[in-house]
A and B are shown apart, each in its own frame.
Chain A
Amino acid sequence: MLKINNLHASVEGTEILRGVNLEVKPGEVHAIMGPNGSGKSTLSSVIAGREDYEITQGNIQFEKEDLLDLGPDERAQKGIFLSFQYPVEIPGVTVTNFLKTSINELRKARGEEPLPANKLLKKMREKMGLLDMDKSFLSRSLNEGFSGGEKKRNEIFQMAMLEPKLGILDETDSGLDIDALRVVAKGVNTLRTKDNAIILITHYQRLLDHIEPDYVHVLSQGKIVKSGNKELALELEEHGYDWLKEPAV
């Protein structure tokens, strides 16, 4: 589904990603861990199509198609979704209007008619129920004044509404209390099918207790320095990242 080959990305002349390789197949869950500043958010932004980064080498393919020529909107239309580490506040655009626009733009790209308002509302109510969200959020400005945890929940709510093929969750667990974590994990798990895939960026093992990954990768200084199964996450939890930095003998 997603194939990243030797990806190098820099911003203002500083190289941040230095040769990332990653392959994600349908049905898989990949966790990416790694120290602060190692490039995790950069990687997710580059996959989603952020234009501030210059790709100096390598490529990204999504369902065998080159992604790098596509804008963020076109990538979303192909089925890529990014849950932001820091969701942006957009005053004046209500959650409802935003989702309505988003869903209908995605449908338009697939050649479908706009979703009738009543169906849209029904779907919104259903997904909000799943995520234990109050429906008063619908009429609020997008993310404006939302608490940290509410913003994260709202990201997963959007993911549930948009039903992407590939969901990238950038530290969606940070800032969530234990109950919220469980609710969000439940939300994510119900979206898991054999056809879609998830990349979880996280610092904590506790999320992986709820959403079990097939693979765990460690990103350090712009490179994946180690990959393994879920046991690797436990090891990291215990020993930190330092032991990885020592040159392999």
Chain B
Amino acid sequence: MEALKDKLESSFIVFENELNGHAQTPVHQKRRAAMQRFEDMGFPTKRDEEWKYTSLKPILKHDYRLFPNEENSVDFSQIKKYFLNDVDAYKLVFIDGVYSSWLSETTHERFDVCTFSSMLNKFSDVANEYFGQALPEYEALSSLNTAFAREGAFIRIKKSQAADKPIQVLFFTTEHGQEVMTQPRNLILLEENAEATITERHQSLSDKPVLTNSATEIFVERHARLCYHKIQNDNGQASLIDNTSIRQKGESSVTLGTYSFGNRFIRNNLNFFLDEEHCESHLDGITIGDDQQLIDHHTLVDHKVPHCYSNELYKGIYDDKAHGVFNGKVMVHPHAQKTNAFQQNNNVLLTDKASVDTKPQLEIYADDVACSHGCTIGQLDDQALFYLMTRGIARREAQALLLYAFANDGLRNVKLPELRKKLNRMIAKKLNVNLDFEL
């Protein structure tokens, strides 16, 4: 851990030197402050309350290369399967942290779908106003990302515009003969009454361990509507730390779905800050872990003002020795009367060795609110399994049918048919069956 920290500190100096004239910009001042915070806090350990179930040690022991020096090219045919099929979409594709224009499809016409770096160059007003304004400073890992923030997606949907196509953001890491760490940085801005659907995916094309420490800041202005879906289905060597923070203004609505099936390790730090009244926030998740996977969801919904609605539903299925964590914090501040906050985390364990730590954390300081939470950990229902099997359905398929039925309301806010289909197929594949679920 210390070795990696040292390495990051020295490469920050190298990074600064490369900036030449840009080292004095407000953006870079924020990076420098973030680096300082990271240096002070260091990598989280199990002594941190927020990290007591999850150790970063096995992830951080590798000697990651921070900036791959040789550029690998990638053919579309190699990565086609990671895109949504049969749908016209804007695409932002990054290979080893570098923007790939020939694989991407961007626009500046009625709104902006381009890169974080071009935002820094072209729209310094946006950078100065929004960069670093959503991610909390107490997070060591998002601070680390902020320190190195230079490339990723920039999406700005302008006032009263609706993105005419879904937007796919994809980050690929290629084979470099050694471990690689990347830190993508995204900024999403929906202006008043704007609308968009965005998917995000990180995919390693390497057999070596890969660590992605991603950070995304999302600003949703009044009356704007955002659907954002994270597909976490990377290979068994890949680790992902996803830091995402969302700020919502009045009457806006955000759905954020997290679909975690792959990776050796996943940690999601997802924060919703509801800054004005009548916001609506939906947090959905389906997690299916097997083998030795560790998948950790930490969420925060921060109700600062009255009359907001949040609804969180996370479903987890754990097989083999997989381990899951769900820590859902809901803060209702003293002024936030008439808050409606619901949270539900349901888990199924398929073996004795699989486990899940689930911790709802409701802190309610207002009295006129409707809040509820529930968490369950159970096994598959033997009676139901027998019933299905007496209809000729083999055990594996019967089990998959029940698990799918258990998990699928996690897809309730996925409106894009192509994405639904893709997620359904991923679930079937993960459950090791070939069932055509939707008729």
Determine the residue in chain A with the shortest Cβ distance to B387.
Answer: A88
- Given the known interface contacts A72-B386, A93-B401, the answer about A162 and B437 at a Cβ–Cβ threshold of 8 Å is no
Q: Does A90 contact B (CB under 8 A)?
A: yes
A84 and B387: CB pair below 8 A? yes
Q: Does A102 contact B (CB under 8 A)?
A: yes
In the complex, chain B residues whose CB is within 8 Å of the CB of A32: none
A156 to B321, CA, bound (A): 41
Shortest Cβ distance from residue A151 to the other chain B in the assembled complex, whole angstroms: 11
A218 to B390, CA, bound (A): 25
- Given the known interface contacts A76-B390, A96-B439, A162-B391, the answer about A88 and B384 at a Cβ–Cβ threshold of 8 Å is yes
B392 and A117: CB pair below 8 A? no
A106 to B394, CA, bound (A): 10
- Given the known interface contacts A93-B405, A96-B439, A101-B401, the answer about A88 and B392 at a Cβ–Cβ threshold of 8 Å is no
A73 and B401: CB pair below 8 A? no
Determine the residue in chain B with the shortest Cβ distance to A143.
Answer: B387
In the complex, chain B residues whose CB is within 8 Å of the CB of A162: 391-392
Which single member of A73, A91, A93, A94 contacts B392 (CB below 8 Å)? A73
A90 and B384: CB pair below 8 A? yes
Q: Does A13 contact B (CB under 8 A)?
A: no
Tell me how many residues of B have a C-beta within 8 Å of chain A.
Answer: 28
A75 to B394, CA, bound (A): 11
Determine the residue in chain A with the shortest Cβ distance to B381.
Answer: A88
Q: Does B24 contact A (CB under 8 A)?
A: no
Q: Does B45 contact A (CB under 8 A)?
A: no
In the complex, which range does the number of interface residues on chain A fall in? Answer: 35 or more
Within 8 A of A (CB), among B257-307: none
A162 to B439, CA, bound (A): 19
0/1 interface trace, chain B 384-413, chain A, CB 8 Å (1 if under): 101111111111011001101110110000
Binding site for B on A (CB under 8 A): 48-52, 71-73, 75-77, 80-82, 84, 87-88, 90-94, 96-98, 100-102, 105-106, 109, 117, 141, 158, 162
A102 and B391: CB pair below 8 A? yes
- Given the known interface contacts A72-B386, A90-B384, the answer about A106 and B405 at a Cβ–Cβ threshold of 8 Å is no
Shortest Cβ distance from residue B99 to the other chain A in the assembled complex, whole angstroms: 42
In the complex, chain A residues whose CB is within 8 Å of the CB of B409: 92
B398 and A73: CB pair below 8 A? yes
A98 and B386: CB pair below 8 A? no
A90 to B406, CA, bound (A): 9
Shortest Cβ distance from residue B146 to the other chain A in the assembled complex, whole angstroms: 41
A208 to B206, CA, bound (A): 69
A104 to B408, CA, bound (A): 22
A117 and B439: CB pair below 8 A? yes
B389 and A71: CB pair below 8 A? yes
Determine the residue in chain B with the shortest Cβ distance to A138.
Answer: B439
Which single member of A88, A92, A105, A141 contacts B394 (CB below 8 Å)? A105
Which single member of B382, B394, B436, B438 contacts A73 (CB below 8 Å)? B394
Q: Does B435 contact A (CB under 8 A)?
A: yes
Within 8 A of A (CB), among B366-395: 381-384, 386-395
23 contacts between A and B (CB under 8 A): A49-B390, A51-B386, A73-B394, A76-B389, A76-B392, A88-B387, A90-B402, A90-B405, A92-B404, A92-B408, A93-B405, A94-B439, A96-B439, A97-B437, A97-B439, A100-B436, A101-B397, A105-B392, A105-B394, A105-B397, A106-B391, A109-B392, A141-B405
In the complex, chain A residues whose CB is within 8 Å of the CB of B401: 93, 97-98, 101
A158 and B404: CB pair below 8 A? no
Shortest Cβ distance from residue B104 to the other chain A in the assembled complex, whole angstroms: 38
In the complex, chain A residues whose CB is within 8 Å of the CB of B397: 101, 105
In the complex, chain B residues whose CB is within 8 Å of the CB of A49: 389-390
Which single member of B382, B387, B437 contacts A90 (CB below 8 Å)? B387
A158 to B389, CA, bound (A): 13
